Structure 1
Amino acid sequence: MPEIAAHVAGMPGSGVRHILEKALLRPGTIILAVGEPGELVGPAVRDVAAGAWRDGDIRYTPNGGIPALRDAIVRKLARDNDVHVDVEQVWVTVGATQALHMAMSLALARGDEVLVPDPGYTTFTMNAHLLQATPVPYPLRPERAFQPALEEIEALVTPRTRAIIVNTPSNPLGSTFDLDTLEALLALARRHDLWVISDEVYERFTWGGRHVSLQSLDADGRVLSVFSMSKTHAMTGARVGWLVTPPGWRPTMLRVQESIVSCVDAPSQRAAAAALDGDQRDVERAAVHYRDSLSAAMAALDGRGIRYLPPTGAFYLWIDVSHASGGDVAAWCERFLDEAGVAVAPGTAFGASGEGWVRVCVASDRAELLEGLRRLPAPA
C-alpha cells in the first residue's frame, strides 16, 4: 500500500499527551499534566448553547464566524487589549489550535524557518513539521528566569527565517514578557522583516502585571494574534478561538478557512458571544482561584526545598526535578506515574531546554494538587 508522506511520518508527537494517555488508563491517578481548567463556564452561557440546539441552529455559518461573535470579539479586543480592528480582521477558529495552525500556514512555506520558544507549547513545533517548515528553537534559560536573550534570538535568524512565535503568558512556563521585551521582539521582527505570531491564550491570568497584546504595539501590520475561549472561560471542549489578521486579508482568509474547517459550529459560537458580552465575574472568580492555588502550591514546594520558577501568568508551575530525574525527565515522569500515581508533564515535551523540569497544572482540585506535590521527591 502507499506510504504516508515522509514529513508526517517524522512529525514529533506530544509528550504531554503520551503521559496523559497512560494516566487515563490508571484509575485513581492524580492528573496534573494537562491544562484543563477546574472551573465551569456559567449556566447562562451553557443555556445559550443548549438553546441553539433546541432552536435547530446547527447549519453552516459564515466562514469568519457569526456576526454576533465577531462583533463581540471586536468590542473585547478594544476594551481589554487596546487592539482596534475591523470585524473582517477577526476569524473564528476551532480553538486556538486551529488559529495557530492557520497563522503558521499563512506565514510559512515549505523549507521556511520559524523561531519557536524553547521551552514552548508543543504544537508550535508540531505545526511547523506538518507544514514542512523548520522550527528553530530560541532558548529560554533558567539563569535568565526563562526570559529571552535578544542577541541569542537574532543570531538564529537566517535568510530562510519567516516568523517568530511569542507566547505570553507562557505555556508551559507560567512566565510573562514585560513591555520592554515585547517592544524589543517587535523591533527584531522589523529589522528582519518577520511575521510575529502572538499566542495570548492565557491573557486574563496574569499575576502582578497587566497583559500587553503585541498587536497593540504593532505599527506595520506584521502581528498575527491568537486568542481562545478555552482557558479564560473554561470552554476547552467548545473549541472556540480566533485569529486576528492585518487589514485587507478577507479574500485570502475566506479561501483558507473554507479549505480547513469551513466554519465553527453555531451553538459554540453563540455561547462564546454570550460569554464575551456577559458578566465577567466567573472569569474573575477563576483568576482568584488559580492565583490562590498557585500560592498554596508554592508554599508546599518552599516547605520541602523544591525549586520552581515563580509564576507571573497562566496556571502552571514549572518545577525543577533535576535532583531526581537523572538527566532523562521524560523517563522519570513515566516512573513517577507508575510508582507515585501522579501524572506531570515532562519539561522536554516542550523542548530540549526543559530537561530536568516538569510542568504542573494547578487548575484542578486543590487537595489533589497538594497531594500530588507532596509525592514529588525533595532534594537530599
Structure 2
Amino acid sequence: MEGNGIISFGSGQPDLPPPKEIFRNLENPRLFKYGLIQGDKRLREALAEEYPGAEAKNFVITNGASEALDLVMRALAQEPGSHNILLCQPYYYSYPLIAEFAGLSSIYTQLKEGLIDLDDFQKKIGKVKAVLINSPSNPTGRVEAMETLKAIEALTKKLGVWVISDEVYKDLIYGRENYLIKGRHVITINSFSKTYAMCGLRVGYLYSPDREFIQKVVDMKVHTSMNTNSMGQAMALSAMRAPRSYVKKQVAIWERRRDLIYGGLIKLGFDLWKPEGAFYVFPKIKNVERALGELYYKYKVIVYDGAWFGAPGRIRLSYALDEKKIEEGLRRIKKFLKGKEKWLI
C-alpha cells in the first residue's frame, strides 16, 4: 500500500530496478505460447551451471518460490513415513499454511537470538519427514552459521530426513559467508524476485538431484498451473546474463539501508538483531496491535505484526524503500514513541 503520504515498511518487494538486459528481445511470438511444463530448457541449463553436478533435468521452473514450496510439500506428503515437517519459529508466514494445505503437520523448533538452536533442533528432527531451512531469514534477517548448516546437512542425511532449503535471499548477504546445504535429500527453492527485483513476473524454481522426485513435481504441475510464464522465463534468463556487478551494486544499497534503519531503531531504544542478509528488521515492542493501528492511522506508517510470523511482541519492518523514506519513517516512529518508552522494555 503506497501513496497518500504513507511510509510502508510492510512489503518485502525490492524497489530497485531489475537488470536492463531483461527488456531486450521480447518480440519473439514463441513467448506468447505454451511452454514446457518443467520450464524453458535454456533457463534450466543456465541454472545447472550454478549448481555443481547438476543438469537441466534437475530443475522445475515455477510461478515464484511460493509455487515451488507448494509443489514440494505436496509431493513430500505422498512419500511414505511421518507427515510432520519441522519449521523454524519465527517463520515466513506462509510456511505453516502451505504445509497444512499439503496435508503436513508442522512441528516448531524455537530460534535462539534469531538462529537455529541445534540442541532443540536435534530433539525434534527425528519426529519429522522434512525440515524447512530459510537462510538468510524472512523475517529475522539473520544468516545461519556455516557450522550449523553443515551439521544439519549431515544429521538429516543420516536420519533420511528431507531438507527444503529456501534460498530466495542467498545473494543478499552483507559481509559474511553463507553455506548452501547439499545432498540427494536436499530440495533447493529459489526465485528471481529478490536478487533481480522481478517479483511481479513470478519466476522461481526448485532443484533436486533426485530425478524421481522432480518427475512427481512435474506430474502435479501438468494439472495445476501448467507451464510458468514464458515471457517471464525469457526475462529471467536475460537477468542471469547481466553483469555480476548488478547484484553487487544492489547488495551495497541494501547494506546502506540496513545500517540506516538498524542504527535508527537502536537510537530509538528498540531491541533487535542486526540483519546479516535479506532486507528485514524484527524489533521487540509491547502492545503490538495498538502500535500497528496508531502507527497507521495517526502517523501513516505501515509495519507488520510479528505474530503473523510466529513471534508475538515483535514487528517486522522491510527496508525495501529509499533512504529518504526510511529516514522519514524513523522520524514518525520517534513521534509515535513519545510517552511510550516503556513499550520497548
Question: TM-score normalized by structure 1?
Answer: 0.83
In the alignment, the residues of structure 1 paired with residue 54 and residue 76 of structure 2 have an alpha-carbon distance, to the nearest angstrom, of: 20
1:349 matches 2:308? yes
Q: What secondary structure sits across from 1:213 in the alignment?
A: coil
In the alignment, the residues of structure 1 paired with residue 266 and residue 120 of structure 2 have an alpha-carbon distance, to the nearest angstrom, of: 32
Is 39-48 or 96-105 further displaced after alignment?
Answer: 39-48
Q: What secondary structure sits across from 2:42 in the alignment?
A: helix
1:84 matches 2:75? no
In the alignment, the residues of structure 2 paired with residue 319 and residue 108 of structure 1 have an alpha-carbon distance, to the nearest angstrom, of: 35
Which of 251, 257, 277 aligns to 1:287? It is 251
- Do the aligned partners of 1:72 and 1:277 also contact (CA within 8 Å) in 2? no
Match of 2:114 in 1: 146
Match of 2:131 in 1: 164
Match of 2:84 in 1: 113
Q: After the TM superposition, which residues 21-100 of structure 1 pair with which residues of structure 2 at under 5 Å, given as runs? A: 23=1, 27-48=4-25, 50-52=26-28, 55=29, 57-75=31-49, 77-78=50-51, 83-100=52-69
Q: Displacement of 1:260 after TM fit? A: 2.3
Q: Displacement of 1:307 after TM fit? A: 2.0
- Do the aligned partners of 1:88 and 1:247 also contact (CA within 8 Å) in 2? no
Letter in 1 for 2:153: L
1:214 matches 2:189? no
- Do the aligned partners of 2:9 and 2:318 also contact (CA within 8 Å) in 1? yes
In the alignment, the residues of structure 1 paired with residue 244 and residue 293 of structure 2 have an alpha-carbon distance, to the nearest angstrom, of: 39
1:315 matches 2:272? no
Letter in 2 for 1:222: H
Q: What secondary structure sits across from 1:260 in the alignment?
A: coil
- Do the aligned partners of 1:138 and 1:156 also contact (CA within 8 Å) in 2? yes
Match of 1:260 in 2: 224
Q: How many residues align?
A: 334
In the alignment, the residues of structure 2 paired with residue 243 and residue 88 of structure 1 have an alpha-carbon distance, to the nearest angstrom, of: 11
Match of 1:358 in 2: 315
Q: Show CA shifts across 1:237-263 (max 9, x none).
A: 011011001232254233122122111
Letter in 2 for 1:51: E
Q: Displacement of 1:96 after TM fit? A: 0.5
Q: What secondary structure sits across from 2:297 in the alignment?
A: helix
Q: Displacement of 1:27 after TM fit? A: 2.8
Q: Displacement of 1:109 after TM fit? A: 4.5
Letter in 1 for 2:305: P
Which 4+ stretches in 1 moved above 3 angstroms? none
1:339 matches 2:298? yes
Q: Displacement of 1:84 after TM fit? A: 2.8
Match of 1:271 in 2: 235
Q: Displacement of 1:39 after TM fit? A: 0.4
- Do the aligned partners of 2:45 and 2:55 also contact (CA within 8 Å) in 1? no
Match of 1:14 in 2: none
In the alignment, the residues of structure 1 paired with residue 14 and residue 125 of structure 2 have an alpha-carbon distance, to the nearest angstrom, of: 36
Match of 1:223 in 2: 186
- C-alpha change, 1:317 and 1:183, in structure 2 (3 Å) is same
Letter in 1 for 2:300: G
- RMSD of the TM alignment (CA)? 2.0
In the alignment, the residues of structure 1 paired with residue 101 and residue 248 of structure 2 have an alpha-carbon distance, to the nearest angstrom, of: 37
Q: What secondary structure sits across from 2:283 in the alignment?
A: strand
In the alignment, the residues of structure 2 paired with residue 371 and residue 278 of structure 1 have an alpha-carbon distance, to the nearest angstrom, of: 33
In structure 2, the gaps of 5 or more residues are none
In the alignment, the residues of structure 2 paired with residue 109 and residue 270 of structure 1 have an alpha-carbon distance, to the nearest angstrom, of: 32
Q: Displacement of 1:300 after TM fit? A: 1.5
In the alignment, the residues of structure 2 paired with residue 56 and residue 240 of structure 1 have an alpha-carbon distance, to the nearest angstrom, of: 18
Question: TM-score normalized by structure 2?
Answer: 0.91
In the alignment, the residues of structure 2 paired with residue 123 and residue 131 of structure 1 have an alpha-carbon distance, to the nearest angstrom, of: 12
Match of 2:104 in 1: 133
Q: Displacement of 1:97 after TM fit? A: 0.6
